[in-house]
Chain A
Amino acid sequence: MRRASPLLVALGLVAAVVVPYLALGGASFEPTPTADPCATRDWRDPGGVGEALEQIALSSLDGAACKLGVTREELVLAVRSEDALERFAREQGISRDDAEQAVRDGMLRAVDDAEEAGVLSERVASLARRVVQAVPPWLVLQTLESLEFLLPG
């Protein structure tokens, strides 16, 4: 035992560092995992039409991401430009048209959800649906934002 005690001291010193590090989360200090897009997110109480439109856009991304089996974040990175959407479609093994349609379907679903929840009036929802169907996905939010001043509060 006398001969083994330096070994125990060494093990004790190692434990004195490793155990607290583990207790402080050392085994899980990594980037925050992204949320499941198929799970329902809470609607934040929108302060105006602009914020409501933003939540619609984000909710639409959740819907489209869920349908495609990717995360909302991967999809938002894909719809920032036409090239990005083409690259995304290639990586997912789907056609660019299918990817674009999935995004549009998600946006339309979100508009329906927002109208049903009373966040958007029938008039605003109708305008939002026309924009979604007519404008490329990466320009939808910009277009809706620019139309905000035309809309009632």
Chain B
Amino acid sequence: MSRLRPALLGLAVGLALADSSIVTLALPDVLGAFDVGITTVAWVLTSFNLVLALGAVPAAYLARRRPREAFAAGVVVFAGASLACGLAPSFDVLVGARCVQAAGAALLVCAALDLLSETLGSDERALGVWVTAGVVGAALGPAAGGVSTRLVGWESIFLVQVPVALALLLALRGLLARRVPEPAGRPHLTANLALLLVSGGLVAALFLVVLLLVDGWGMAPAAAGLVVTVMPAAAIVVARVRPRSLGGMTGVASGVILVAGGLAALGLLPRAGWAWTVPPQLLVGAGLGLALAGLTELALAGRADQVVHGGWTLAARHAGVVVGLVLLAPVLTDALEQSREEAIRAGAAEVLDSGIPPLDKLRVAQDVLDEVARANDAGELPSVERAFEGRPADGEWGSLVTALQDQLDRAITSAFSGPFLLAALLAASALVPVALLRRRRPA
């Protein structure tokens, strides 16, 4: 059990923090199930991250005296709330259950840090596992949620977590962890501010990339899940192999530059297609491995009571997620609306200038517009194939379908460009507190 314990604790952290992003691809289904608007349904995502941000520090104070009991309580609350989410009869109950789920997550994640220290015998190693598990969980969450939603339904995202979470209580077998907590002292405000800003920018990498791949370009969630493993994989490799020269503030600053640069590259995609997202994801992942670990280490360095200061970094990261969601979601919504209009005009031009029979042109234009309206009502992106059902697929018709799909891809890709570039700016602004840190303590 002592060998399995770090893995189980890491899995618990990853599972809990995956919930910060796991519903991303399920939002259209939740929207349909409860008949709510796009702005309202986003609360399923925002509420979890908001409560986690607000509850992390209080949870850490609760966990530091009795980490074993706090972990168990956190798991039970998380599992119970997950069950409530999966069985929610109304949208209000779902959002309420998500808030309780986040409170349980805060407790178990904070307690896990202390239990990892006890198990591994090293605060540094514990922190490494704790940060990495959280990053991997959050990065893989959207794809896992998307697959689950497509295969079974959105409720399965939550119901599957119940037995998994309860099984993780096995990590506590034979573990006695009772400590006398030291005074925690003030948090490291500058390091946590930098964490908040980088995390705000990372919202784009965690949420928008998956939305673009699956809802924008029509990729299957399982395939998209594979594509987005590039980012956490790069983060893990860099975090493990980073040389001494990349420790301290130089490593953090380099990491922030890579994150911001990768996000900017996502905003400048020259074509539609998953392969174009890989090099930017590698940059973001590598930057994550340097910046997140470095800033978390700095926020905890020399400070007593790792659990409380770990709680502060958890609060900073998820406050950053909330800031990112609040800033980027309306920008994306507006951009999609504008791009929709541009795509309709460009599509009409393609139809008018095509070689299909003249009398069919107005009819085709009408069918395309009807499909755009249907998709808009369903909260989906339009399908060119659906608009051309029952028509020839070759010759001038085939060329027209290809041309329309190209215009749609252009519209969708350009709509995501603004939010990615804004996220890059948000992440890059973390260089300001990092520069202040460098002046105080050179790398």
Which residues from chain A sit less than 8 Å from chain B, CB to CB? 3-7, 9-11, 13-15, 17-18, 21-22, 24-27, 29-35, 50-51, 53-54, 57-58, 71-74, 76-77, 80-81, 138, 141-142, 145
Contacts and interface: CB of A to CB of B under 8 A. Distances in A.
Interface string B376-406: 0000000000000000000000000000000
13 contacts: A7-B253, A14-B257, A14-B261, A14-B283, A17-B280, A18-B264, A24-B271, A31-B342, A31-B345, A76-B365, A77-B365, A80-B369, A141-B359
Given A21-B270, A30-B410, A32-B407, A76 B348 contact: yes
Interface residues of B, number: 49
Nearest to A142: B359
B345 A34 contact: yes
Contacts of B349: 32, 34-35, 72-73
Contact of A31 (B260, B283, B410): B410
A40 to B, nearest CB: 16
Given A13-B258, A13-B283, A32-B346, A58 B352 contact: yes
Nearest to B438: A3
Interface of B: 245-246, 250-251, 253-255, 257-258, 260-262, 264-265, 268-272, 276, 279-280, 283, 286-287, 339, 342-346, 348-350, 352, 358-359, 362, 365-366, 369, 407, 410-411, 413-414, 417, 442-443
A73 B283 contact: no
Contact of B261 (A17, A24, A27, A138): A17
A7 B252 CA distance: 10
A18 B350 CA distance: 31
A74 B11 CA distance: 54
Given A21-B268, A24-B271, A31 B358 contact: no
A31 B414 contact: yes
B257 A73 contact: no
Contacts of A54: 358
Contacts of A18: 261, 264-265, 268
